[in-house]
Amino acid sequence: MIDLEKRAHEKYGLPLAALDDSDAYTMLMEIVREKAQSLPDTEGKRRLYYISAEFLIGKLLTNNLINLGIYNEVKEQLYHAGHDLNKVEECEVEPSLGNGGLGRLAACFLDSIATLGLPGDGVGLNYHFGLFHQKFRDNQQTELPDEWLHEQGWLVDTGKSYTVPFGGFSVTSKLYDIDVLGYGRKTKNHLHLFDLTSVDESLVSADSIDFDKTALKKNLTLFLYPDDSDDQGRILRVYQEYFMVSNAAQLIIEEALERGSDLHDLDEYAVVQINDTHPTMVIPELIRLLVDEHGIDFDEAVSIVRKMVAYTNHTILAEALEKWPLSFLRTVSPRIADIIEKLDYAEKEKDADPAVAIIQNDIVHMAHIDIHYGFSINGVAALHTKILEESELKPFYKLYPEKFSNKTNGITFRRWIMGCNPALTSLLDETLGTEWHTTGDLSGLMEYKDDPEMLEKIGDAKEIAKRSMRAFIKQNRGIDIPRNAIVDVQIKRIHEYKRQQMLALYLIWKYLDIKNGNIPARPITVIFGGKAAPAYVIAQDIIHLILTLSQWIAADPDVSPYLQVIMVENYNVTAAEKLIPAADISEQISLASKEASGTSNMKLMLNGAVTLCTMDGANVEIADLVGPENIYTFGASSEEVVRLYAENAYRPHGLYLRPGTKLLVDFITNPKFMATGNPERLKRLHDDMANKDWFMALLDLEEYIQVKERMYVDYEDRSSWLKKSLVNTAMAGKFSSDRTIKQYNDEIWHLD
């Protein structure tokens, strides 16, 4: 069907074999774009709009080829002409439109929505320089603009444009789309990305993410999460959010009118999923448009919107729950501030409990708008939803028990195994057929859990993945990984609650243990990947500790043959696709109750890594599925942690003073070690761990070390380890985002 040879002649006047990778990439991208353009839109009366500040979509060539069903064909034709599709795809620059789990979840959801044939689009912003590009200098993170936008990208100029009215001025938007293809589907959806006609990239220089935060007409779509350590930065975020949702609301209304709505029935034509609170202002904005632009009575507008919006909560961390001074909102849009005050007033009339008020002391609690004025609120894993209902949002749960539900997160199997792990995918296809591509059901593999031949094949697939991971690490960090190393990974945003610092303390323990002559059975390679928010000092300190440790251990010939610490630079979706298939151990070590769900836990499990975890987020569900012999758990329970916080009863200093622990923590400030790093950072981190340790790393440390050691020993029993690996893959079906999206649709969206 596809004739790449012919196409190469038409486009370049050359045989396919004569193209370089970059030309081959451009040609393939054009083919995919044309095919996508020719597909009709998924239709249906009611359409979903998934509004999100982030869409961490990753490279799209392989994913789109898979979803179009032409991956193998293209790969073979390239191969016969001497090209390697993987090399060709390396020419693609990964879009920088997200930061972490919430953004990647949105991307997985778009894939599943399209695959299920549901009419639903993403709506977000087209950040020109993304989050930031992470570079390491002097063992510290530096942040550079991530220049991902190129002539030959996936963006399609729609020609659509809206006016967004801010207090005192207005701006004009410009809508780009990225086509979203479903696996084996003949229709397409969209990722709508709004940009600003007046955006000015010259506000940003190549070597820094600083820019003039006051030049609003020029800067709104420059960066995702611009620095918010001052009021200027914070108010800029509110401008961005309003820009995003005003465009979204105008698009929603325009499309509903086109499909025949008279707007009194808008809720029959559109449903909005609010991904965390960043898009919350879509509620007052829809009300504003219905009332001011379309002549609908205020109360009626409120009741229409109430039936249209659903909210997903992704965190219980107080600092991540958005609260904005009403004065900020008034500066950004006086009308929106007025509407929020009206909504707040109406709620206060109904319920006098100050805990559920939208405005408290002139501060607007964004999540409270969503809960009062949306019809649905969901958590992202069973434990998380339970904590929302029973503690964090308890007064709301009492008011509206019927609005609450759980939707355990999921991941798209098209990217997180079929795309990234060809060896394991082929093995599963040979063994089970290909139904699992869409059903997610891998449980048939359980039949083979005692079959030595199958276990060896699972081991072989891991070896293949490790080879490609080693090449990636060599390219990314210039480091060679021993062929027989056990690969232990922690890949996620750097945050104290995720406790990368606890793994760092383990590494110090292991370093000292090897120094004492206890040589491990095989080399251990621990790989970290993740970015820290630029203004998050302790997270930056943790990166510094990891990089300094990495260098320290590598420089010690007594230890370096047995222990290796690597931190990937600029961890992103592309890096994840290399690391995840190769991992033996999945580190999911957040303080229980703090990780809403996690999704790298699911990706790693699917690819046969064995989980080392606390009973937090979706780890609880993984443990349930695989059983105790196929997972390693440790640490305080979420109930215990919640109690310690409630009673203010955690005392880290006493734990620090235990000789075994003190030795490890004090290693960080040992003068020789400090001399190789930045003493200010190391001292600050040391003191924080010894005195504050807000996320209780010292509480779980001893048990963590024990369990981790047991895990390394168990790895040496090859067949029993491979069996664990097999069981993890076999039981991962629950975590297909197709399952998650079916639940959203059946229980919240009700699309046709």
Q: Does 708 bind ligand 26Q (CB under 6 A)?
A: no
Question: Which residue lies nearer to ligand 26Q by CB, 590 or 607?
Answer: 590
Q: How far apart are CA 379 and CA 402, in angstroms?
A: 14
Q: Which amino acid is at 493?
A: R
Question: Which residue lies nearer to ligand 26Q by CB, 599 or 745?
Answer: 599
**CA 169 to centroid of chain Cα atoms:** 34
Question: Which residue lies nearer to ligand 26Q by CB, 28 or 489?
Answer: 489
Q: Provide the β-strand partners of residue 363.
A: 325, 360
Q: How far is the CB of 712 from ligand 26Q (least distance, A)?
A: 27
Q: How far apart are CA 360 and CA 161, in angstroms?
A: 36
Give Cβ neighbours of residue 633 (< 8 Å, ≥ 6 apart): 613, 614, 615, 619, 623, 707
Q: Which of 48, 105, 249, 302 touches ligand 26Q by CB under 6 A?
A: 105
Point out which span in 21-29, 94-102, 367-375, 435-443 binds ligand 26Q (CB under 6 A).
94-102
Question: Which residue lies nearer to ligand 26Q by CB, 158 or 743?
Answer: 743
Strands (E), 208-282: 270-275
Q: Does 340 bind ligand 26Q (CB under 6 A)?
A: no
Point out which span in 292-300, 395-403, 419-427, 593-601 binds ligand 26Q (CB under 6 A).
593-601
Point out which span in 98-106, 663-671, 696-704, 723-731 binds ligand 26Q (CB under 6 A).
98-106
Q: Provide the β-strand partners of residue 325.
A: 363
Q: Which of 190, 314, 510, 734 touches ligand 26Q by CB under 6 A?
A: 314
Kind of pairing, strands 133-137 and 140-144? Answer: antiparallel
Task: Spot the catalytic one: 185, 603, 681, 734.
Answer: 603
Q: How far apart are CA 569 and CA 133, in angstroms?
A: 9
Q: How far apart are CA 171 and CA 359, in angstroms?
A: 28
Q: Which of 177, 179, 276, 370 touches ligand 26Q by CB under 6 A?
A: 276
Q: Which of 28, 66, 94, 101 touches ligand 26Q by CB under 6 A?
A: 101
Active-site residue, 662 included: no
Q: How far apart are CA 325 and CA 360, in angstroms?
A: 10
Q: Does 181 bind ligand 26Q (CB under 6 A)?
A: no
Task: Spot the catalytic one: 599, 611, 633, 661.
Answer: 599
Question: Which residue lies nearer to ligand 26Q by CB, 198 or 360?
Answer: 360
Q: How far apart are CA 451 and CA 726, in angstroms?
A: 11
Total number of residues binding ligand 26Q (CB under 6 A)?
20
Task: Spot the catalytic one: 323, 493, 739, 742.
Answer: 493
Q: Which of 595, 621, 688, 700 touches ligand 26Q by CB under 6 A?
A: 595
Closest CA to 384 of 313, 319, 310, 279: 313
Give Cβ neighbours of residue 438 (< 8 Å, ≥ 6 apart): 115, 183, 184, 738
Task: Spot the catalytic one: 462, 492, 495, 594.
Answer: 492
**DSSP code at position 18:** G
Question: Which residue lies nearer to ligand 26Q by CB, 101 or 130?
Answer: 101
Q: Which of 598, 608, 635, 677 touches ligand 26Q by CB under 6 A?
A: 598
User: Considering just the CA atoms, what is the radius of gyration of the chain in Å?
Assistant: 26
Q: Which amino acid is at 656?
A: Y
Residue with structure tokens 């243990």?
A: 513
Active-site residue, 133 included: no
Active-site residue, 599 included: yes
Active-site residue, 314 included: yes
Residue nearest to ligand 26Q as judged by C-beta position: 101
Q: Does 596 bind ligand 26Q (CB under 6 A)?
A: yes
DSSP sequence for 116-172: TT--EEEEEE--TT-S-EEEEETTEEEEE------SSSS-EE-----EEEETTEEEE
Distances (CA, A) of 86 to 60, 472, 505: 12, 12, 37
Active-site residue, 498 included: yes
Q: How far is the CB of 104 from ligand 26Q (least distance, A)?
A: 7
Q: Do 252 and 346 meet the contact criterion of CB atoms below 8 Å apart?
A: no
Q: How far apart are CA 674 and CA 682, in angstroms?
A: 7
Q: Does 380 bind ligand 26Q (CB under 6 A)?
A: yes
Q: How far is the CB of 680 from ligand 26Q (least distance, A)?
A: 27
Q: x/- contact string, 387-426, with ligand 26Q (CB under 6 A)? A: ----------------------x-----------------
Q: How far is the CB of 192 from ligand 26Q (least distance, A)?
A: 20
Q: Does 237 bind ligand 26Q (CB under 6 A)?
A: yes
Q: Does 100 bind ligand 26Q (CB under 6 A)?
A: yes
**DSSP code at position 621:** H
Active-site residue, 742 included: no
151-174 burial string, b = 16+ CB within 10 Å, else e? eebbbbeeebebebbbbeeebebb
Q: Which of 42, 540, 597, 630 touches ligand 26Q by CB under 6 A?
A: 597
DSSP sequence for 671-717: HHHHHTS-HHHHHHHHHHHHHT-TT-HHHHHHHHHHHHHHHHHHHTS
Q: x/- contact string, 607-646, with ligand 26Q (CB under 6 A)? A: ----------x-----------------------------
Q: How far is the CB of 320 from ligand 26Q (least distance, A)?
A: 4
Q: x/- contact string, 318-337, with ligand 26Q (CB under 6 A)? A: --x-x---------------
Q: Which of 64, 112, 315, 385 touches ligand 26Q by CB under 6 A?
A: 315
Structure tokens at 640: 């215990």
Q: How far apart are CA 640 and CA 593, in angstroms?
A: 9
Point out which span in 68-76, 313-321, 469-477, 629-637 binds ligand 26Q (CB under 6 A).
313-321
Q: How far apart are CA 618 and CA 622, in angstroms?
A: 6
Point out which span in 2-10, 144-152, 312-320, 675-683 binds ligand 26Q (CB under 6 A).
312-320
Q: How far is the CB of 314 from ligand 26Q (least distance, A)?
A: 4
Q: How far apart are CA 473 and CA 550, in angstroms?
A: 14
Question: Which residue lies nearer to ligand 26Q by CB, 406 or 476?
Answer: 406
Question: Which residue lies nearer to ligand 26Q by CB, 590 or 661?
Answer: 590
The residues that touch ligand 26Q, with contacts defined as CB under 6 A, are 99-102, 105, 225, 237, 276, 314-315, 320, 322, 380, 409, 595-599, 617
**Catalytic center residues:** 314, 492-493, 498, 599, 603
